[in-house]
Chain A
Amino acid sequence: MAQSIAKEFTKGLWTEIAPFRIVLGLCPILAVTKTVENGIGMGLATTFVLVFSNFFVSLFRNIIPAKVRIPCFIVIIATFVTIVELLMQAYTYPLFLKLGIFIPLIVVNCIVLGRAEAFASKNAPHLSIADGLGMGIGFTLSLAVLSAVREVLGTGAITFYETPIVLFGPAFEPFTFMVEAPGAFVCLGLLLCFMNLIPKK
């Protein structure tokens, strides 16, 4: 049993890592990766929602009628998104302001609904938690990598809790294109290309 849990957990980290192996959840990936702090914050919020929605969808999988399953899943997901929204408003207010409408938009993140439909509605609760956790951490990693590339190239520093860690000397000219909207698309496209170069196994 422990082996199958480990298997479900690790697949989200590499073989099915979102959005590089399965192209889902692009909107938050592109929109909140201006800084590493935002990226990781968004990733953790999504992980929280993924784990709990997967768990509850899996618990109720035999009760929910097949015809109305999607609205039921959405209500479960929306409940946890509201919880995360209120928690962030209470404890990490600056981050809450920066992420803005992208926190309520976790509801329509295709990864969350996708996992509920493809995995949690067919598997036992403990496997679903492992799956949600793996997918969430994989998603957080992708967000961290993309935001690190964008922030380092775009500003020449990484900022945590408003203290910038400057990585390059004063001669470095910030590549502002990277932190603007077009840079997000190009940067993610190039990262996808690199991931395609690395074989799956």
Chain B
Amino acid sequence: MDLILLAIGCIFVNNILLAQFLGNCPFLGTSNKMETAVGMSMAVVFVLVMAGVISWMVDHYLLKTLDIEYLRTVSFILVIASLVQFVEMFLKKSIPALYAGLGIFLPLITTNCAVMGVCLINIKEEYTFVQVLVSSFSYAVGFGLALIIFAGLRERINIARVPKPLQDTSIGLITAGILSLSFFAFKGMV
């Protein structure tokens, strides 16, 4: 029951994009087409779960036992960067179809602050292993959900007549604000 609440909290209430402001660069960068948005969401779900679990293990078994927690930032970014590289190589060799789908989005994930952010939140909230698994997956689903909804809105905006100074990022941000307002309604749920 607690885990379900945690999942709902991570997907809707504390939505990584719209309530915590993490991962906004790919949010605005890859949301112009539905296709790229879906690709990015899948790549994030894939990497975020792995990164969350591995970074938790690194923190728990390596940094804490050796008492070198000040190296957390450096070790987490290295874990994420090497994980992304590894996943890319693995997919290229064994599942070429998925690799072709995720393609260019995989390397972009290294600098996606949503991934690093969730890893840090997991540590800050002192989650257990199972909770880390659930929260990483739910945050990633929340990211995908917001990104896909937003891509749908943007496809509609692209065919609308927008005043010149408001075009592109500007109208994108205002739309994101309204979307964020609608996610605000979930606030009382958990």
Q: Hey, which bits of chain A sit against chain B, CB under 8 A?
A: 23-27, 30-31, 70-71, 74-75, 78-79, 81-82, 85-86, 100-101, 104-105, 107-110, 113, 180-186, 188-190, 192-194, 196-197
Contacts and interface: CB of A to CB of B under 8 A. Distances in A.
A31 B28 contact: no
B21 interface: yes
Contacts, number: 123
Given A79-B74, A182-B178, A185-B173, A108 B116 contact: yes
Q: Is the interface of B mostly helix, strand, loop or mixed?
A: helix
B131 interface: no
Given A74-B110, A82-B71, A101-B117, 12 more contacts: A27-B21, A71-B81, A75-B74, A82-B70, A104-B76, A109-B113, A110-B111, A182-B18, A183-B177, A186-B173, A189-B173, A196-B164
A101 B120 contact: yes
B25 interface: yes
B100 interface: no
Contact size class for B? 35 or more
Contacts of B177: 182-186, 189
B25 A185 contact: no
Contacts of A183: 177
Contacts of B184: 180-182
Interface string B165-187: 11101111110111011001000
A27 B18 CA distance: 11
A26 B176 CA distance: 13
A86 B181 CA distance: 36
16 contacts: A30-B21, A31-B20, A78-B77, A79-B74, A101-B120, A105-B22, A105-B113, A105-B117, A107-B73, A108-B77, A108-B110, A108-B112, A108-B115, A190-B174, A193-B165, A197-B165
